[in-house]
Structure 1
Amino acid sequence: MKIACLWLFTTSLLFATDCISYQQAAKADITSCMEYLLDPALKYQPKNLIKSKNFQKLHSKTQNLGYHNAAVWFRGSFLTDAQQTKLLVFDYPILQRVQLWLYHNSKLVDYQINGLEVPIHKRQIQNRHIVFPISLPKGKTIFLIQIQSGTAIRYKAALLNPSHFAHFTEQDNLIYGIFSGIMIIMFLYNLFLFVEIREKSYLYYSLYVLSHLLCQLSYTGYAAQYLWPFSTWWSLHSIRGLFGFLFIFALLFTREFLNLKEQRMQKWIYFMSFLAIVQLVYSLCDFSGKSAMLLSVTAALFCILLIAFGVYAYRKKEMNAKYYLVAWSFFLVSSFLMIFEVYGLLPNNLFFNHVMLIGSGIEVTLLSLALANQINILKNKEIAAKEKLLEQSKEIQKLQDEINRRLEEKVRERTAVILKQQEELENQIQMARSIQHALLPKDLPILHNAEVYYLYKPMMQIGGDFLDILVHDDKLGLFLCDVSGHGVPSALLASMVKISLMTWRYTIEDPVQTLKDIEDRMRDKLDGNFLTAQVFCIHLDNSEFSAASAGHLPFFIKRHNGGVERIKPAGGIISDYIRVSRRVMNGKLQHGDRLVCFTDGVIEARNNQGEEYGENIVCEYLDRYANEPVSVFCNQLFEKVTSANNTDPEDDIAILAMDWKG
């Protein structure tokens, strides 16, 4: 931002073609007596440029050479009739590096360096401006100035008395202090509103105001002087980097403030947000003219797009669109006036020097008033909505009694239907339970050399465990299976297994074939379930037995001599998805041996401490009741695993056992 109030012209200036005669004037613009020379390769030395004829006259009224990757040299001279101490001040605080050489009688009498690369606390004059305190001897003094900067090369400079510089500094500080105070008040005010009503537009606007203020302070050098005086890197890059945040928060605020929820509007917002992020990242990585051009293009696109958003919202009759357009119009007009003043199209005075601050202040104030007005509009809408709601509540109250009466009647009717359906369901489940029990062996076979016993208890009224006993041609067949799951589905599958055993008598001597027949008949009927099974064939005439398993638990044989054998034939489960091979296991029983098989409900039952019994409970009871009839053993084991915790079993329980007496 220009601080052109430092450079007031006076009639006491006496100009020569390349020399300014400085007597006792309080301030003097030295720009018009300077010549310039571009130095792209940095090949020139100051002492060689004192009398160089390569310099060119400055004819531009804008006092701006634009962006150059090269260093730019300026040359001029002062003529005094007595020694003077003055301040040489540049009207562009964000120049990156400015070096000054003073020559008197072809001898170097002073050298200084300044600019954003020099921290404020290391400058001779700790001020946001680029200020060189110089002592001018009597006679002619030649000055050389070299400027290297990633910003535009603006070369307007003036020579001032320290007292006048202090006066103009106080004036500038007052103006920017008022502006900063307005911006901070608007930031805190809208942030407070966001905390109170949780409306995102107030948060985005407060962040927009804060980033706007930081951009202004960074551009005018106040941020480098007061906010981050010790970071030269951030002093350089914040000038353009902060604009990325400004663009992003302006977009977010515009979206919420104008209620731009349409998909095509969102696409534009996402695109410009991406462009703002690119500009932000690039500005932090580069401080050349390229990043400046990117910032200029981005800023132009944002101005056009934000105005287009306002026009679009106004045509949609959004209530905030008028405030938005007026506020942005003030900002854009002030921006154009500042540009016209920079290019010499408008007079250089206090108003036009600070027209950008005036426009920004008006814009921020108008938008804050619009947000405040939005609260009143929302309150009025809320009051109207409450009144309408009160009227509707009276009508609703009238309907409520009628609805309650009908609802109670419906509830009574539905309750009666549910009770009837529940009764029918219980009857059907009881019938299913009777049918399932009918599928179990009705009478235990009476054999001279074997005694068979079983117990079965489903987790619910019906379950998925199933067992069967078959005596055919001096052979005793034992079958036990466990269908996955519980309740009605498992019981139905168990019933299908019973049907699959209708031809068991033909394969009683081959347990593996028996399991294969079941697998074939149950194929594509399990619907994701599976079952495990064990089949035994005991030859009653010679005490030999064969067994096969379909992924079932191991079975145990308590030998007459006291040992307990744990036997698990190889073989996988029966399911719709896999087919596995199974192998038969052969053995021989002795007089007094006891064979027992069971489902997982036995070993997964829990004791009073909540721990599973495991297979040890079977071995323990085989030892404890070895001399008792098989029925006593089964009942004691069954009582043990079903009585713990006084709770119902967590799974179906089936026990099938046989004592060999041959």
Structure 2
Amino acid sequence: MDEESVDRSEGFGERLLGLLLDRAPHLPPQLIAPLIAEEVGRVGGRDVSILLQDYAQELLVPLPGKKLRVTQPEPVNGSAAGRAFLRGEAVEVPLARGGLRMHLPLLDGSDTVGVMVLTLDNVGEDDRRLLRRLAGLVADLLVTKSAYTDQFFLARRREPMSVSAEIQWGLLPPLTMTLPQVAVAGILEPAYRAAGDSFDYALNDNILHMAVIDAMGHGLDAAVMATVAIGAYRHARRVFVSLAEKYTYMDDAISGQFGPDHFVTAQLMHLNLATGELELVNAGHPAPLLIRDGKVVRQLESATTLPVGFGGEEPRIREHTLQRGDRVLCYTDGIIEEHIAGGELFGEEGLVRCVNRLGERPSEGMRADLRRLSHTLKRERGGRTSDDATLFMIEWRGGAADHLAVLD
């Protein structure tokens, strides 16, 4: 197309979204809500609510703000807002008096941070497209501005949070990442009292780097040790050392800072997105479970080295080959070492039983499936989580994503 023939005039949709983009750099956090409500009003919307996920992943909590509609929190299970949140798709509910209530997921990348809800008298495909894009901008704005304010954090918090949990939530990456080739999701319990458990991941070119850790002890001491372990892991990852050398970096940091009587168990992994080859180092952790077609096939065994901090030898790497659609479930010992009624240990058998039972139901996506597993496990343990309990799941899908970089 001739460069001079390209239409660069500003249409209605560009003006609407452009206003938000233009003002975003200078917008104080408390003015986000009024601006969003104003933008929605320009497409005929009203009664706008912004719902954010609480830390226990049980409720969607309304964000207070001028011009926003503030209602009671909505349960993630069984609500239209919850369906939009878990599926990452818009959900429309017709109203008895006419019009409809739209629930739009707020997607930051592929992580859903909340739901935008609004009422429209009429909606067409142009409205749906524009509102979907507006919701994406709102999500980015909320995530960006959260670095400058406690407002969004306070809305999400439903009970007092320990100092150690504050540290851990500040340390975690986004809880979910969903791409054409791979998906990951993680859950940390107890949400408001977590201490030594953590996980981390990063996608660098075609390799997904992952780590799950469990620092010894409880409270603030465990949180500090976990912070050092994750910091050392990230440093090692960013200087491009091998998987085995990552263990050594972490081991040196923990032993050097805390001495010989402190340790962190860890699983370190590399997943090649093109081939499904999974490299695994296990430093005193329970072995991950391989899930295929909803059922646990086996443990992913590896030569277990000493926990991080004990000065173990360079670990041997075990390689596993995944099939498309395979899921790998990593977990910390707080999941299986809880005692249930009668003093019986919940154990790995209890975990496998829950995974297999839930695998008989249709998948609702990684986030929803892992959340459902976490809540089911907690019920099976009698509602108790005495120790930190972390679940981290990977699903390898294969294929390629190059087509996303090509404009139609």
User: Are 1:499 and 2:235 matched, yes or no?
Assistant: no
Output aligned runs, 1:21-36, within 5 Å: none
- Read off the aligned partner of 1:550 and give its amino acid letter: A
Output aligned runs, 1:77-116, within 5 Å: none
Task: Give the conservation status (yes or no) of the 8 Å contact 1:602–1:654.
Answer: yes
Describe the SS at the equivalent of 2:377. Answer: helix
Taking a change above 3 Å as real, the CA distance of residues 459 and 541 of structure 1, as seen in their structure-2 partners, is closer
> Which residue number corresponds to residue 301 of structure 2?
568
1:600 to partner: Cα distance: 0.3
Q: Give the whole-Å Cα distance in 1 for the aligned partners of 2:168 and 2:321.
A: 33
Task: Give the conservation status (yes or no) of the 8 Å contact 1:532–1:574.
Answer: yes
Q: Give the whole-Å Cα distance in 2 for the aligned partners of 1:508 and 1:599.
A: 27
Q: Give the whole-Å Cα distance in 1 for the aligned partners of 2:201 and 2:192.
A: 24
Q: Deviations over 1:445-484 (max 9, x none)?
A: 2311111111001487231111111111111111101111
Q: Deviations over 1:545-598 (max 9, x none)?
A: 111111111111112495612123113233555423311011211112110000
Task: Give the conservation status (yes or no) of the 8 Å contact 1:445–1:471.
Answer: no
User: Are 1:590 and 2:323 matched, yes or no?
Assistant: yes
Output aligned runs, 1:179-578, within 5 Å: 430-442=162-174, 444-458=176-190, 461-506=193-238, 510-527=242-259, 528-560=261-293, 564-574=297-307, 576-578=309-311
> Which residue number corresponds to residue 656 of structure 1?
392
1:645 to partner: Cα distance: 6.5
Identity percentage of aligned residues: 23
User: Are 1:625 and 2:358 matched, yes or no?
Assistant: yes
Q: TM-score scaled to structure 1, two decimals?
A: 0.33
1:647 to partner: Cα distance: 5.1
1:646 to partner: Cα distance: 4.9
1:495 to partner: Cα distance: 0.9
- Read off the aligned partner of 2:326 and give its amino acid letter: D
- Read off the aligned partner of 1:454 and give its amino acid letter: G
User: Are 1:642 and 2:375 matched, yes or no?
Assistant: no
Taking a change above 3 Å as real, the CA distance of residues 623 and 646 of structure 1, as seen in their structure-2 partners, is closer
Whose helix fraction is larger, Structure 1's or Structure 2's?
1
Higher relative contact order (CA 8 A, sep 6+): 2
- Read off the aligned partner of 1:450 and give its amino acid letter: V
Describe the SS at the equivalent of 1:609. Answer: helix
Q: Give the whole-Å Cα distance in 1 for the aligned partners of 2:235 and 2:322.
A: 26
Describe the SS at the equivalent of 2:302. Answer: coil
Taking a change above 3 Å as real, the CA distance of residues 454 and 488 of structure 1, as seen in their structure-2 partners, is same
> Which residue number corresponds to residue 16 of structure 1?
none
User: Are 1:613 and 2:349 matched, yes or no?
Assistant: no
Describe the SS at the equivalent of 2:335. Answer: helix
1:431 to partner: Cα distance: 5.0
Q: Give the whole-Å Cα distance in 2 for the aligned partners of 1:643 and 1:455.
A: 15
1:635 to partner: Cα distance: 2.1
- Read off the aligned partner of 1:485 and give its amino acid letter: G
Taking a change above 3 Å as real, the CA distance of residues 507 and 582 of structure 1, as seen in their structure-2 partners, is farther
Q: Give the whole-Å Cα distance in 2 for the aligned partners of 1:561 and 1:435.
A: 34
Q: Give the whole-Å Cα distance in 1 for the aligned partners of 2:383 and 2:175.
A: 30
- Read off the aligned partner of 2:373 and give its amino acid letter: L
Q: Give the whole-Å Cα distance in 2 for the aligned partners of 1:451 and 1:625.
A: 19
Describe the SS at the equivalent of 2:176. Answer: coil
User: Are 1:602 and 2:343 matched, yes or no?
Assistant: no
1:429 to partner: Cα distance: 6.6
Task: Give the conservation status (yes or no) of the 8 Å contact 2:212–2:392.
Answer: yes
Q: Give the whole-Å Cα distance in 1 for the aligned partners of 2:172 and 2:296.
A: 31
Q: Give the whole-Å Cα distance in 1 for the aligned partners of 2:239 and 2:319.
A: 16
1:505 to partner: Cα distance: 3.0
Taking a change above 3 Å as real, the CA distance of residues 659 and 438 of structure 1, as seen in their structure-2 partners, is same
- Read off the aligned partner of 2:353 and give its amino acid letter: E
Taking a change above 3 Å as real, the CA distance of residues 589 and 508 of structure 1, as seen in their structure-2 partners, is farther
Q: Give the whole-Å Cα distance in 2 for the aligned partners of 1:640 and 1:561.
A: 15
Taking a change above 3 Å as real, the CA distance of residues 443 and 457 of structure 1, as seen in their structure-2 partners, is closer
Quote the RMSD (CA, aligned, Å): 2.7
Taking a change above 3 Å as real, the CA distance of residues 458 and 493 of structure 1, as seen in their structure-2 partners, is farther
Taking a change above 3 Å as real, the CA distance of residues 619 and 590 of structure 1, as seen in their structure-2 partners, is same
Task: Give the conservation status (yes or no) of the 8 Å contact 2:273–2:396.
Answer: no
Task: Give the conservation status (yes or no) of the 8 Å contact 1:545–1:587.
Answer: yes
- Read off the aligned partner of 2:391 and give its amino acid letter: I
> Which residue number corresponds to residue 234 of structure 1?
none
Task: Give the conservation status (yes or no) of the 8 Å contact 2:290–2:329.
Answer: yes
Taking a change above 3 Å as real, the CA distance of residues 507 and 588 of structure 1, as seen in their structure-2 partners, is farther
Stretches of structure 2 that go unaligned for 5 or more consecutive residues are 1-158, 399-408
Q: TM-score scaled to structure 2, two decimals?
A: 0.53
- Aligned residue pairs total 236
Q: Give the whole-Å Cα distance in 2 for the aligned partners of 1:524 and 1:501.
A: 15
Q: Give the whole-Å Cα distance in 2 for the aligned partners of 1:607 and 1:646.
A: 6
Taking a change above 3 Å as real, the CA distance of residues 535 and 620 of structure 1, as seen in their structure-2 partners, is same
- Read off the aligned partner of 2:357 and give its amino acid letter: R
Taking a change above 3 Å as real, the CA distance of residues 526 and 562 of structure 1, as seen in their structure-2 partners, is same
Q: Deviations over 1:225-271 (max 9, x none)?
A: xxxxxxxxxxxxxxxxxxxxxxxxxxxxxxxxxxxxxxxxxxxxxxx
Describe the SS at the equivalent of 2:342. Answer: coil
Q: Give the whole-Å Cα distance in 1 for the aligned partners of 2:390 and 2:178.
A: 21
Q: Give the whole-Å Cα distance in 1 for the aligned partners of 2:358 and 2:239.
A: 34
**Runs of 4 or more above 6 Å deviation:** none
Q: Give the whole-Å Cα distance in 2 for the aligned partners of 1:525 and 1:432.
A: 18
Taking a change above 3 Å as real, the CA distance of residues 508 and 444 of structure 1, as seen in their structure-2 partners, is farther
Describe the SS at the equivalent of 1:605. Answer: coil
1:508 to partner: Cα distance: 6.3
Describe the SS at the equivalent of 1:542. Answer: coil
Q: Give the whole-Å Cα distance in 2 for the aligned partners of 1:465 and 1:652.
A: 6
1:624 to partner: Cα distance: 2.3
Taking a change above 3 Å as real, the CA distance of residues 461 and 562 of structure 1, as seen in their structure-2 partners, is closer
Taking a change above 3 Å as real, the CA distance of residues 660 and 502 of structure 1, as seen in their structure-2 partners, is closer
